[in-house]
Amino acid sequence: MTVRVVLADDHQLLREGVAALLDRTSDIEVIAAVEDGVAAVDITSELGPDVVLMDVSMPVLNGIEATRSIVREQPAVRVVVLSMHADPHTVSTALAAGASGYVLKGCAAAELVAAIRSVAGGRGYLTPAVTGGVLRELSELRSTVVPALTSRERVVLQLIAEGHSTGAIALLLGISAKTVGTHREHLMAKVGVRSVAGLTKYAVRQGVTTLDHGE
Amino acid sequence: MTVRVVLADDHQLLREGVAALLDRTSDIEVIAAVEDGVAAVDITSELGPDVVLMDVSMPVLNGIEATRSIVREQPAVRVVVLSMHADPHTVSTALAAGASGYVLKGCAAAELVAAIRSVAGGRGYLTPAVTGGVLRELSELRSTVVPALTSRERVVLQLIAEGHSTGAIALLLGISAKTVGTHREHLMAKVGVRSVAGLTKYAVRQGVTTLDHGE
DNA sequence: GGCCACAATCAGAGAATTGCTGATTTCCCG
DNA sequence: CGGGAAATCAGCAATTCTCTGATTGTGGCC
């Protein structure tokens, strides 16, 4: 079970150095090293590696776009982005493009190996220096794209997901059925869904209810 | 981390013999041995053991009822039923009463120890001689209690769980909305649920749809 | 203090869905 | 050749949904 790796970076010295480092590891094999994004896409579709180690800044086609292309065409291939910078924007763009891992060029060889093994195993890898920013970005996106639910809405969501009818919820909460309907509409609008089925899935994902019993 | 065990059996010789066997094992300690079901319930609520080793046939209160009582009052206590017979009815009754394990009196000491360790660790234990019967019983129950869905019903279930309305499903399938409604009713009746929320959860559990996107 | 945004509440009216009963057709199995 | 189950559809009353519009209370902000 060796992990087959394609390396894409526009600096020859880095390519050779990283290849040497990785080849010291018995379970990782560098099967190709290319110097631009187009070559990375081509060689990946030809060789079908397990992991592509992708530099961000490359001529012809940058690493982000190359990642997007590879992930779209070969979802089984995992991409680890190798970058000089830890700025949250680059990181989240790379991850949005479909990268499974993100490591900095300043990292130790051991970390690079850990990242490759992690993504080859189907997990992800984020170098500690960027995780904070990613989490912050994530929560910001969550709150702007998906507005926070109000406490009342959360209660109604839970009851809906538990299978209660509008009338039943109104009785339980001691409010009018009309109000429950309004809450439901607000919920659907916020969650971006237009059915009880969608609301229920959202509730399950959010942990507001369980999948346990039928309702 | 020794496992504290209460032993309940109406034959003194068996109590002494099993206690001796278990005490040879360093991580298992028999803290009490009683001779009827009532005493088992009493001593269990008093001592709070990790595991109760429970004979099925006992005077005053049989092992099944004693198990039911113990599990209801002290859910943290695990019960291993010790029985002479492997008949599926006894086994499934015992498991339905809340037993976590089932071993035969004809088993080796090593198996008893394995069973006790397993249930103490929060898992279950079924002696191989009875697993076949239990699985058969289970699938029979499944098919009678939860009748198999027809292929058409599965299709409708999926579409409902994906958030489509009755009218939309009718269009997609090229049938009347009334028919879709009938399918939905049959689904709810079979699944034992009376809401789209319940159906959606069932669909997710069954893998008919995913939790991914909202709808 | 006044203003504004928003949560929470409710209502009206027409459209859609639900729940229940009942029926027909087709098809497979013994 | 039945018998039964699956799949289809209808009628009808009750409920729910959708959309629009409105009121009240609260908290933050100038």
Q: According to the model, what pLDDT value does residue B132 have?
A: 63
Distance in angstroms (rounded) separating the CA atoms of residues A127 and A111:
8
Specify the fold of A151-206: Arc Repressor Mutant, subunit A (1.10.10)
Domain regions of chain B by residue span: 3-142, 151-206
Query: Average pLDDT over chain A, rounded to whole?
Result: 83
Least confident of A21-35, A95-109, B61-75, B124-138: B124-138
The residues, any chain, with a CB within 8 Å of residue B124's CB and separated by 6 or more, are: B100, B101, B118
Residue B52, token pair as written in the block: 């109760």
- Closest chain A residue to B206, measured at CA: A211
* Stretch 144-183 of chain A: residues touching chain B, C-beta under 8 Å: 160-165
Inform me whether the pLDDT recorded for A147 exceeds 70.
Answer: no
Secondary-structure breakdown of chain B: helix, strand, coil percentages, each rounded to the nearest 5: 55, 15, 30
pLDDT classification of B85: cutoffs 50, 70, 90: confident
Give percent of chain B with pLDDT exceeding 90: 22
CATH number of A3-142: 3.40.50.2300
B-chain CB neighbours of A163 within 8 Å are: 193-195, 197-198
- Please state, in angstroms and rounded to a whole number, the distance separating the CA atoms of residues B129 and B147: 28
Give the confidence band of B147 by pLDDT, cuts at 50, 70, 90.
low
* Sequence-distant (≥ 6) Cβ neighbours of residue A163 within 8 angstroms: A214, A215, B193, B194, B195, B197, B198
Of the pLDDT bands very low, low, confident and very high (cuts 50, 70, 90), residue A214 is very low
Per-residue confidence at A141, pLDDT binned at 50, 70, 90? Answer: low
**Is residue A81's pLDDT more than 50?**
yes
b/e burial code for range B94-109 (CB count within 10 A of at least 16 → b): bbebbbbbbbbeeeee
Q: What is the pLDDT of residue A119?
A: 86
Query: pLDDT tens digit string along B37-54?
Result: 889 999 999 999 999 999
∠ CA A17-A18-A20, nearest 5°, is 65
Would you call A214 an interface residue with chain B, using a CB distance cutoff of 8 Å? yes
pLDDT of A205 above 80? no
d(CA A161, CA B198) in angstroms, rounded, equals 7
CB B214 to CB A201 under 8 A? yes
> What pLDDT band is residue B149 in, cutting at 50, 70 and 90?
confident
Range with lowest mean pLDDT among A40-54, A77-91, A119-133, A187-201: A119-133
| 3-state class (DSSP) for residue B120 | helix
- Residue A196 confidence class, pLDDT cut points 50, 70, 90: very high
> Do A34 and A60 meet the contact criterion of CB atoms below 8 Å apart?
no
Does A214 sit within 8 Å of B193, measured CB to CB?
yes
Nearest CA to A58 among A97, A116, A15? A15
Residue B119 has pLDDT above 80, yes or no: yes
For residues B82 and B85, give the distance between their C-alpha atoms in angstroms, rounded to a whole number: 9
For residue range A21-43, list pLDDT tens digits in order. Answer: 888 888 999 999 999 988 999 99
Mean pLDDT of A58-73: 82
Asked whether residue A109, judged by its CB, lies under 7 Å from any atom of the DNA or RNA strand D, the reply is no
Q: Taking 60 as the threshold, does the pLDDT of residue B144 lie above it?
A: no
Measuring CA to CA, how many Å separate B8 from each of A70, A184, B112?
Answer: 64, 55, 14
Residue A213 has pLDDT above 70, yes or no: no
Contact B211 A201 (CB under 8 A): yes
pLDDT tens per residue across span A89-136: 677 778 777 788 889 888 888 889 988 998 888 787 877 777 666 655
